Chain A
Amino acid sequence: MSRVVDLGYVPLLDAAPVIIAAEIGFAAEEGIELALHREMSWATLRDRLIWGRYDAAHMLAPVVVAQTAGIGVGDAAVDALMVLSVNGDMIGAAPELAGRVAAAGGGFLDAAATGRALAEATAGRRLRFGVPFPLSMHAALIEYWLERTGLRAGVGLVTIPPPRMAAAMAAGEIDAFCVGEPWGSIAVEVGAAQLLLPGAAIWEFAPEKVLAMTRRALEDRPLRAAALMRAVWRSSRWLGDPANAMTAAEILGRAAYLDVSPELLEHTITGRIVVDGQGTEIRVPRAIEFFAGAANFPWRSQALWIAEGLARRTGADRARLRAAARASFRADLFRQVLGPIGADLPGASEKLEGAMATQTAVASTLGKLLLGPDRFFDGGRFDPVDGD
């Protein structure tokens, strides 16, 4: 049996768990050789996963749900073996608009105030937001935020690759954008944008990227999939230790991976976000989270939240999306594979999303699990069983 696991990823900060698994030796400990392949397009990464060129992929959580429901390419089901990262998106606008939003009362950690200020600054006209891919948490969070902010004219989502966001703003194609780090911080560094909000200000505990495999590959090679999960989970735990932030930033910044300055990455990993050209630094709790609060657990309720948003945005069948959500977020595998190596497992696989205002102790296998906070900015709650 080949020891090589071919894994495709997009060069983003949240690819850290798979890059570190290869670099720090967690994959080697499991007897697998993790061959990483960098991709510049989500569509291409998804296609290469589905066509068997890759065994596994760093993937947008909504792509997994959508693909399994038949929105994507072909009819292959794709599973999320675990969540790789929580939060990590940044919302920004050109400095001129960002200045008007600040003047109208926006605040970097206050999505409600920033939403109202944005509506005021744009005088009720229809806003256009750039997102990297339509089937993304970026699109889902922007839609959730602006719908509940009561923008009269609504919001248009435009798909634009992150490296082109600045040019698209300059050309008037979009007003603002939501991208994964490091793209938000890069836009600030080059003077193209100021940040309006971290994604965490909209939903405090939003699943972002997942470790994905096609269901067929998973069933063909269950032992290799389990080895990969253990390697990536140990890598996530390593990343969750603040003492490793600097080392992680140095590795991820290399030309072969993200090719950006380690300092910039370290800022986001440690939650010290530089929001404007003056270097104003704001502390953001869980700016990106790789491990704490059971970040890696693939909650079926998270998948169902994603399914509801996809049903609204794509018009696809809601029941089908909900069924795909439950089937593709593999809480069952997570328990089976990672319980024995020390993952503290929650008692349930679905929860009321948005209900925890603070860190909360919950029933778990090791009895030490703290979840949350996981509030939505508007105090909304998402009950996964509504709509069954």
Chain B
Amino acid sequence: MTQKLSIAVVEQDHDRALMIVDGLHDAGEFDITVIGDVSGLARRLAALAPDVVLIDLESPDRDVLDALTHASNPSDRPVAMFVDRSDDGVMRAAIEAGVSAYVVGGLSRERIRPVLQAAITRFHVVARLRSELAATKAALEERKLVDRAKGMLMKAKGLSEEEAYAALRRTAMAQGRKVADVAQALITAADLLK
């Protein structure tokens, strides 16, 4: 029986790191370490000497990892990039999902594949949650704008809340714009006239 693979997950966001760890647990038995504090990342990784490092493609710290693959002294080169020997399909999927994996040389593709597959699945989920969160935030922002514009109309023209909203919506439909955009325009104009 070969030893369990050791995996380092470089991720500063605690919740995202936990999700990835959960995903990996579902995929098999691994020794997993989360590196949440990226200061001195290269040194930490050298001390840890994991078999595989997983990191978000969007993270600027990816360049620190990549640097290790260019070290002139082979003994200073703890990681080699997986993309060098992976098949196109898996690599493309990883890039689309936003995950990059670095592995120590010599590990067979069969042992790494489940790790990467699990990571790809998890990174997709993380990406979806991220975009949902962004959408929710934007929706809240829009709600705030509309509320403010409604309040301004109610005060300026003595309208009820329903009438104020109806006025915004009528204008939006007539101009082919979103209600939030009309609200924004009204607020901007009102600020200018102050």
Contact = CB atoms under 8 A, between A and B. Distances in A.
Interface string A295-324: 000000000000000000111000000000
Interface string A42-60: 1110011001010000000
B135 interface: no
Contact of A161 (B43, B61, B84, B92): B61
B92 A160 contact: no
Could you say which of A71, A158, A168 has the most chain B C-beta atoms within 10 Å of its C-beta? Answer: A158
Interface in A167-186: 167-168, 171, 173
Contact of B67 (A40, A134, A315): A134
Contacts of A313: 72
A270 interface: no
Nearest to A163: B60
Interface in B34-82: 38-40, 42-43, 57-67, 70, 72-73, 81
Interface residues of B, number: 26
Contacts of B39: 164, 167-168, 171, 173
Contact of B40 (A134, A135, A173): A173
Interface size class of A (residues with CB under 8 A): 20 to 34
B7 interface: no
A159 B64 contact: yes
A354 interface: no
Contact of B66 (A133, A162, A167, A173): A133
B100 A47 contact: yes
A41 B59 contact: yes
A74 B84 contact: yes
Name the residue among B43, B58, B70, B83 with the largest chain A CB count within 10 angstroms: B70
A230 B117 CA distance: 42
Given A41-B57, A73-B84, A173-B40, 10 more contacts: A41-B62, A41-B63, A43-B62, A43-B66, A47-B83, A47-B95, A47-B100, A73-B83, A134-B66, A161-B60
Instruction: Give the 4 A-B residue pairs with the shortest CB-CB distance, closest first.
Output: A159-B67, A161-B60, A43-B66, A41-B62
